[in-house]
Amino acid sequence: MSQNKNNSGVLFRNSKKKMIPADDGKKVPADAKEANKPDYTGDATVNGVDYWMAAWIKESQKQNGAKYFSFAFTPKPVEVEP
């Protein structure tokens, strides 16, 4: 089980995602493969179950380009004690 309190989690910027400077000074993914990697990663515990978390920063098409997070949760394998 992770060190998180129940029903909480943590996210950190994904330092493995390769970004390069764009013409406008912003940073963009180095290639299409990098674009699919999450911007943030971490873990969470929900109802006593441990999960890996991933988050991407996206822009809304309906809210005038407002930025938001899109999340994914993947259950961690259950450790079986002998």
Q: Which residue in 16, 59, 67 sits closest to 39, CA to CA? A: 16
For the stretch 22-76, pLDDT in tens is 888 777 767 777 778 999 999 999 999 999 999 999 989 888 889 999 999 999 9
Q: How many CB atoms lie within 10 A of CB 41?
A: 19
Confidence (pTM): 0.75
